[in-house]
Structure 1
């Protein structure tokens, strides 16, 4: 198997066009077409459907695309392992973090500790939604991630680490309801809420809890950007719902009303996920262990502030 053909095949699928892929790879289009034909002959399957608009993978093509990514990822790991054998861990490690999670509080400490202990590891931190991150791990484009949920999901191994309560957070005397201490779920029905969209776990959990109580959330804005959420809550445009760990990482909680939601308590689960199909590289294992150290040391209780 010529791995160059696999790399070219991935580029063809990503570009959706042999012509565009040839431009990206800086090779002649006829030569790239020959590589594709050679792959189809080798596997005895049509891998793409050609049309005037470009190319699209067949079922066989999608299967090869997934495996080609894993194969090339393993080749990169093998080359990195051989290059640094006998030395401190080195190479690239990709870590995914769910937005509005404990990951927001752990990102900088993790980056700092990797720089101090393993200066030859290049840490790549990607904040994205769980579904996107899980797919990246399954295809070998990401080593590990800290996301909401506890599985199961085919191709991904979940390591449940924390369960966190959700808090209502807003400007006192404004979007947040009056009073101190815990706030009941019933009181949320009149609060203008700034929440992520429905593909986010926090939104799904809040919606499910309110629906079970026959209540309708008063969502006044769907915000995916942490910076926008910070500014919107500070401007009293609405209150939000977050775990305490995420709230204190991105918001000035000392100037805000922070009240645990009760009757019932609403919780989210967080897990460290890795691929179920391929082992972690040596540098990824080192980062994995550092991540666990930080999670264990983290105190998620607002009472300790």
Structure 2
């Protein structure tokens, strides 16, 4: 098997058409079809199915497509590392930072430090939900991510604990402000706006209530920090958030916040990376900077 055939195969799957792929690759279609046939002969599997709308990968084709993306990415990185040998680090590094977490506070310091130390590194920052970030890391489409989680084992990923954030209740001015510390059982009757059940913070809230033999009174599920701030500002109800996001929402919506106790709930922030794909030299350098910045926050 050679890399060119893998490149052809990935392009065909991406486009879904042999004819269009041949045009983009500047290869005659009969020659491209022959390369595909050779590849299928080497793996002894049918990789594509021809339909009226083009081609789609078989189950075996889907597996090879995932692996081919990783192989080609590692080959590109190997070339970049060889070219950079003896010179400054260069190449692209992707970092996920879960929004509404303390990770967001790392973005600007990371950009500044990376730019000062390694100007040849092209840094890509992605702020989206933790479950999406972990999937990107697992699939080799993102190098590292800082997100909530890491308390349970996930096949394909490793988690390095960084620090923990306590959860706070955030309420609108229209509600009577609670004391600085608030027992969890006292908020069971409040109208709460929380993220979906797959969210790490929501899971922790549900588990804490369950430990008291109670369930939270969730009236709507919201993932957007902007919408959540608007809901709180309008006085519709309250929410439960990690401290960093709780302070952000409170300051933008003239709300108050109280630390939840009895029990205290702590959301663990962790650095997530693949357990089987080694980091490139540039990615390792960015990881080192991240850990330095986290140490300066604690």
Structure 2: gaps spanning 5 or more residues: none
Distance 2:34 2:192 in 1: 56
Q: Deviations over 1:184-207 (max 9, x none)?
A: 212222222222222211112212
Query: Aligned equivalents of 2:241 and 2:99: distance in 1?
Result: 11
User: 1:145 matched to which residue of 2?
Assistant: 145
Please give the alpha-carbon distance, in whole angstroms, between the structure 2 residues aligned to 1:252 and 1:26. Answer: 56
Unpaired stretches in structure 1, ≥5 consecutive residues: 300-305
Distance in 2 between residues matched to 1:16 and 1:200, nearest whole Å: 34
Alpha-carbon distance between aligned partners in 1 of 2:251 and 2:27, rounded to the nearest angstrom: 53
Give the distance between the partners of 2:128 and 2:191, measured in 1 at CA. Answer: 25
Check 1:131–1:9 CA distance in 2 against 1; reply closer, same or farther (3 A cut): farther
**Judging changes above 3 Å, is the alpha-carbon distance between structure 1 residues 140 and 55 closer, same or farther for their aligned structure 2 residues?**
same
How far has the Cα of 1:22 moved from its partner?
5.5
Structure 2 equivalent of residue 240 of structure 1: 239
TM-score, normalisation: structure 1: 0.85
Aligned equivalents of 1:123, 1:249: Cα separation in 2: 26
SS in 2 for 1:252: helix
Matched with 2:84 is 84
- Find the residue that maps to 2:126 and give its secondary structure: strand
Relative to 1, partners in 2 of residues 1:260 and 1:120: Cα closer, same or farther, differing over 3 Å? same
Q: State the match for 2:217 in structure 1.
A: 218
Distance 1:64 1:227 in 2: 40
Return the alpha-carbon distance in structure 2 between the equivalents of residues 119 and 233 of structure 1.
42
Contact 1:162–1:271 (CA under 8 A) maintained in structure 2: yes
Give yes or no for the alignment of 1:133 onto 2:149: no
Aligned twin of 1:102:
102
Determine helix, strand or coil for the equivalent of 1:49: strand
Q: CA deviation at 1:53?
A: 5.2
Which residue matches 2:167?
Answer: 166
User: CA offset at residue 16 of structure 1?
Assistant: 4.8
Supply the RMSD in Å over aligned alpha carbons: 2.6
Aligned partners of 2:167 and 2:264 also within 8 Å: yes
Alignment of 1:58-73 (within 5 A): 58-73=58-73
Deviates more, 1:47-56 or 1:239-248: 47-56
SS at match of 2:188: helix
Q: Is the 8 A contact 2:229 2:252 kept in 1?
A: no
| C-alpha distance in 1 between matches for 2:247 and 2:177 | 21
